[in-house]
Amino acid sequence: MAARLFAMKAVRHGPCVATVMPSTTSFRDLEVWQESMTLVEEIYELSKSFPREELFGLTSQLRKAAVSIPSNIGEGARRKRRRVTLNHYDIALGSQGEVEVQLEVAKRLGFCSSSDYARLQERVERVGKMLNGLITSVQPGEPWNWCLFALGVL
């Protein structure tokens, strides 16, 4: 599901060949970004029905965590250094975990129906799998790490 999302290119520097991320592809082309934006829309719609006293509690936390996912994907995709890019994708994955837990809290407190929970939980899991795939696709191969450091890519 989360295959190559950006076309990588090989760069030769002396005896090293490194794979680097292009800077011309938009993060909007990433399926995981699109899916996470749909998740944000669904979280906002669901949380409209949360109790008013949760406005600065669970409602706010859930919305912030959901928005953090595509925000960090977008920011990471714009970064030039692979290590920084991976850090943002990792933060997005952490936010995905937050959304998963906060949805569970909403379900247990009776703020959402079982069907809404199941539908959103499925999307949250899909986003998590896609993020893991994206992270894997951006991570450098072990044998070339020293070259990537030497080139300043990592």
Spatial distance between the Cα atoms of 154 and 138, rounded to a whole number of angstroms: 11
Q: Is 130 among the domain residues?
A: yes
Q: Is 153 among the domain residues?
A: no
Q: Is 3 among the domain residues?
A: no
Whether 2 contacts 130, CB under 8 Å: yes
Residues 6+ apart with CB under 8 A from 64: none
Q: Is 112 among the domain residues?
A: yes
Instruction: Assign 3-class secondary structure to 69-119.
Output: HHHHHHHHHHCCCHHHHHHHHHHHHHHHHHHHHHHHHHHHCCCCCHHHHHH
Domains held by the chain: number: 1
pLDDT in tens, the chain (154 residues): 344 444 455 555 555 555 555 544 789 999 999 999 999 999 999 999 999 999 999 999 999 999 999 999 999 999 999 999 999 999 999 999 999 999 999 999 999 999 999 999 999 999 999 999 999 999 877 555 545 544 555 4
pLDDT at residue 139 in the model: 87
Containing 121, the helix (H) or strand (E) segment is helix 114-138
Q: Is 1 among the domain residues?
A: no
Q: Is 80 among the domain residues?
A: yes
Q: Is 110 among the domain residues?
A: yes
CATH number of the domain that 66 lies in?
1.20.1440.60
User: 123: domain range?
Assistant: 9-148
Predicted TM-score (pTM) of the model is: 0.77
Q: Is 154 among the domain residues?
A: no
